[in-house]
Amino acid sequence: MTTSVMGLSPAAGWQPVMTGDEGVAVAQRSALGTTARTAVWPPDEIGRACTAVDQVLDELDRQASRFREDSEVSLVHRAGGGMFMVSDGLAEVLAVALAAARWTGGLTDPTVGGALVSLGYDRDFASIEACSTRPLAPPGPVPGWELVRLDGRILRLPHGIRLDLGATAKGVGSDRAARAALAVGEAAGGVLVSLGGDIAVSGTSPQGGWPVAVEGSRDDVPGPAGLPEGQVVRLTFGGVATSSTTYRQWRRAGQVLHHIVDPRTGLPSEGPWRTVTVAAATCADANAAATAAIIAGEEAPAWLASVGVPARLAAGDGSVLCVGGWPEGDGTVLPVPRHSHVYLSRPGRPG
């Protein structure tokens, strides 16, 4: 016998998440190599919201995944360089990636794809060998985002450059999905979409704001709501994203590697921060800033303060530093800036 929960059909692949709050419906499923979570109020909008999120994530995967042979990015790579007419969707992802590179001074750089392949991250992470004896290729700086040209939908990519849009694509996906899920609702309310913890909200938040759990210590385990115990903050606008060197790790030639590549060296970043969480006007902004902060190392707090985004930086020794107005206690609404740095060149987008 088939059952449904709050209008959500199990056939859709989404599973309900019990939170104890009857005014909000939450569901989750695997997507894009991570976990997608959708939360809505009123709760009876959950089925339509999940369908809208599905469509957005499928389109994003077909546009920007370097692990799908039939994606637009993979087709560009196989062509070996040149001039391409890309879809509106991929053009937006590329524009955001280039704007993020400019904003962060090149600390996020979409031309790190070749470096990631040489490090062994050449397939979906679930398929990577946990330990490989294959030697590492000699490191070196990545080609550089300035070599990539985008004029509307026309992409010019030099020969030999492989793109990786990981520093911004999940953020773009969360932003798109939250807007799409709100748009299909038949009643006033709000939506939260999370892709692996990169969160965007749209519409009106529940009273007091959406609760967002931020990891506390490295020994955290999921709490009753399926989120790690630690600090809980409230989000009423924009997005929150986390970058971490403890996630997506693998071993190669005796070295522990992770997926956040420093464009200046072509190697996984080294620095004091194991996790950085940022709040910003959009999830794409937050995602780019969190990645840049991991790579910036000791200079991250000053840079984050200069661009006006609240952030929480957790060091390898367990210490935590809050900058830009990020609250130190629980339950406080995040002071999210209203200005987007990465959607400026895309009329009609957030910011």
For the chain, 351 residues long, the average pLDDT of each consecutive 10-residue run is 39 81 91 90 92 96 92 95 96 97 97 82 53 62 96 96 91 97 85 95 95 66 42 96 77 65 87 94 97 96 96 92 94 95 59 35
The pLDDT value recorded for residue 122 is: 54
Q: How far is CA 96 from the centre of its chain?
A: 12
DSSP for 155-183 reads EEE-TT-----TTTHHHHHHHHHHHHHHH
The pLDDT value recorded for residue 229 is: 47
The pLDDT value recorded for residue 14 is: 94
At residue 81, what are phi and psi to the nearest 5 degrees? Answer: 110, 160
HSE value, Cβ hemisphere, 13 Å, CA-based, for 24: 23
Q: What global pTM score does this model have? A: 0.88
Residue 48, CA distances (Å) to 172, 184, 328 in order:
20, 6, 37
The pLDDT value recorded for residue 267 is: 84
Q: Collapsing DSSP states into helix, strand and coil, what is residue 210?
A: strand
The pLDDT value recorded for residue 10 is: 35
The pLDDT value recorded for residue 138 is: 59
